[in-house]
Amino acid sequence: MTIGTGFTVATATERALAKAYELACAFLASLPERPVSLVPSAEEMAAALDETLPETGSDPAAVLEEWVTRAERGITASPGPRFFGFVTGGVTPAALAGDWLASAIDQNAGLWASSPAAAQTELVVLRWLKALFGLPPAWSGALTSGATMANLVGLTAARQWVGRKLGFDAAADGLAGQPPVIVVSSTELHLSALKCLGTLGLGRNQVHTVAAPGGSVDIAAMAALLRAIDAPVILIGNAGEVNSGHFDDIAALADLRDAHPAGAWLHVDGAFGLFARLLPRLEHLTRGIERADSLAADAHKWLNVPYDSGFAFVRDADILREAFLAGGAYVAGSAGWDPYTHVPEMSRRFRALAAWCTLKAFGREGYRAIVERCVDNAAVFARWIEAKPGLELMNSAPLNIVCFRIVRAGLDDASADQLNRAAVGAIQRDGRAFVTGTVWNGRAAIRAAFDNWLTTLDDVAILQAAVEDIAASSR
Ligand SMILES: Cc1ncc(COP(=O)(O)O)c(C=O)c1O
């Protein structure tokens, strides 16, 4: 068999993979030097990439090369050591190779029958992750496409549990005509959890929130709120608030869960904060997380595996299966573990392989060292900000996120906000390092997140130089 370009399938595949390898190696080699982002305009990217659907085919290797050439200005060095935006990890060699192989062998990791190897590998990865983070071995769970979907898995199980308490089956019968499923959290609840609540029919605007001064929920206020609710609730805690990296007191939330007379389900978002568990000196940050009913975290952040990868754990395996189990004759009679009964999707990517490869390649000690390096880099940067006239540290930087701003004497609040928003854009356009903006405690802020396994103190120094130069030129 030949394909459009006259090559046999085997030759076309080998040529395409060789080209992908060549282009990938060139990109990876350029990471230390290339501008982190060229911040192209939307018009520029549309001009580079938009075209009508081709009527005829082309050589796959040439297609790849063409895409890289045309897309080049929009490819960020996000897996590189100086992308400090959002909360972004890179990719370890073992994870990258595992991910490539997962594409080549193209296993459907939804059902045991479609790939016993993928399903069993996922079970092993889930066990390893529980061991890595000191979580109860009996917890059920699944890999997801990221922390948003991990939150969805945990919150779907939570909704199912509340329904059961109130006498209905939320997954089977829906919410119409049933008593409300009440959700409580802090004002700093991550937007991904809000997206999940919207998806689940619980309502983004229906969350009962209490303040989180400094980024950590006010436990006394939460206790008072819960006292006023005579019904089962879903209680969502943050282990690592995205703007500041601050943590709720999860042990105190677990105590409140235990004390709530009508019952409560504690879901914790530990997208990146869960990794604090790897450093004994930071044990206090996540104390009590092992008492949660469900937990969401990301792998494509601090595990440094390729997008898209996250994981969810749920204490009650029956509730999780009840939430997602939908039978069908054509998938009946499985001989093993079916991941699709634990997540919203059926067919899914074999993302366990990248995680398996990198966990095997680094081991517990390797990951401890990565997390420690990132936390130390963040601390060095935070101390530098603190000591630098004209800059203000805005959080206590307990883990890997440093939130700061440029200060100028005599500026009113609005002008100071404007200056800092402009500074974020200027740092991005400068290209030496990439940071993102936010609002913290009502003021515009600049944030840098340290998750990349490659970042060194030299990279921190380059970030400092970029911040210093932009701050000096900011008016
Ligand atoms: C605390 C927290 N939860 C959830 C998410 C969403 O994760 P993802 O983008 O992997 O879905 C993030 C992303 O930054 C996060 O920081």
Domain-embedded: residue 77: no
Distance from C-alpha of 41 to C-alpha of 270, rounded to nearest angstrom: 34
Tell me the DSSP string of 32-85. TTS-S-----HHHHHHHH--PPPSS---HHHHHHHHHHHHGGG---TTSTTB-S
- Ligand 1 in reach of 86 Cβ (< 6 A): yes
Tokens standing for residue 99 = 């991910």
One domain for residues 188 and 327: yes
Q: Of the residues 304, 339, 359, which one is the last residue of a structural domain? A: 359
Q: Of the residues 359, 391, 425, which one is the last residue of a structural domain? A: 359
Residue 333 per-residue DSSP state: S
One domain for residues 389 and 332: no
One domain for residues 417 and 284: no
Strand 140-144 vs strand 310-314: parallel, antiparallel, or unpaired? antiparallel
To test ligand 1's pocket by mutation, which of 83, 145, 153, 190 has the most ligand atoms within 8 angstroms of CB? 190
CATH of residue 431's domain is 3.90.1150.170
Q: Of the residues 338, 359, 380, which one is the last residue of a structural domain? A: 359
Q: How far is the CA of 268 from the centre of ligand 1 (A)?
A: 12
One domain for residues 194 and 255: yes
One domain for residues 353 and 369: no
Domain-embedded: residue 247: yes
Domain-embedded: residue 348: yes
One domain for residues 48 and 178: no
pLDDT of residue 7: 83
One domain for residues 212 and 240: yes
pLDDT of residue 1: 72
Q: How far is the CA of 242 from the centre of ligand 1 (A)?
A: 8
CATH of residue 313's domain is 3.40.640.10
- Angle at which helix 147-166 crosses helix 317-324, to 10 degrees, equals 100
- For atom 11 of ligand 1, which residue has the closest CA? 148
pLDDT of residue 466: 98
- Angle subtended at Cα 271 by Cα 452 and Cα 189, rounded to the nearest 5 degrees: 130
pLDDT tens over the chain, length 475 residues: 766 567 899 899 999 999 999 999 999 999 999 999 999 999 999 999 999 999 999 999 999 999 999 999 999 999 999 999 999 999 999 999 999 999 999 999 999 999 999 999 999 999 999 999 999 999 999 999 999 999 999 999 999 999 999 999 999 999 999 999 999 999 999 999 999 999 999 999 999 999 999 899 999 999 999 999 999 999 999 999 999 999 999 999 999 999 999 999 999 999 999 999 999 999 999 999 999 999 999 999 999 999 999 999 999 999 999 999 888 898 888 899 999 999 999 999 999 999 999 999 999 999 999 999 999 999 999 999 999 999 999 999 999 999 999 999 999 999 999 999 999 999 999 999 999 999 999 999 999 999 999 999 999 999 999 999 999 998 7
Which residues on neighbouring strands pair with residue 268, listed in sequence order? Answer: 237, 295
Q: How far is the CA of 247 from the centre of ligand 1 (A)?
A: 14
User: Cβ(339)–Cβ(119) under 8 Å?
Assistant: yes
One domain for residues 353 and 372: no
Strand order in the sheet with 310-314: 140-144, 310-314, 294-298, 264-269, 233-238, 182-186, 208-210
One domain for residues 330 and 217: yes
- For atom 14 of ligand 1, which residue has the closest CA? 87
Which residue blocks in 200-316 are alpha helix, DSSP H? 219-227, 250-259
3-class secondary-structure state, position 222: helix
Distance from C-alpha of 228 to C-alpha of 291, rounded to nearest angstrom: 24
Distance from C-alpha of 86 to C-alpha of 438, rounded to nearest angstrom: 10
Domain-embedded: residue 163: yes
Distance from C-alpha of 4 to C-alpha of 2, rounded to nearest angstrom: 7
Classify residue 29 as exposed, middle or buried by CB count within 10 Å of its CB (0-12, 13-18, 19+): exposed
Domain-embedded: residue 80: no
Domain range for residue 281?
97-359
**Hey, what amino acid is at 370?**
I
One domain for residues 355 and 368: no
Q: What letters, b where the CB count within 10 A reaches 16 and e where it falls short, cover 169-184?
A: ebbeeeeeeeeebbbb
* Total of domains in the chain: 3
Domain-embedded: residue 118: yes
pLDDT of residue 328: 87
pLDDT of residue 110: 97
Domain-embedded: residue 81: no
Strands of 104-186 (E only): list them.
140-144, 182-186
- Ligand 1 in reach of 142 Cβ (< 6 A): no
Domain-embedded: residue 82: no
Please give the backbone phi and psi of residue 299, each rounded to the nearest 5 degrees, phi first: -100, -30
One domain for residues 212 and 351: yes
Q: How many residues does the chain have?
A: 475
One domain for residues 310 and 405: no
For tokens 């790897």, name the residue: 278
pLDDT of residue 73: 97
To test ligand 1's pocket by mutation, which of 78, 148, 185, 302 has the most ligand atoms within 8 angstroms of CB? 148
For 109, other C-beta atoms within 10 Å of its C-beta total: 25
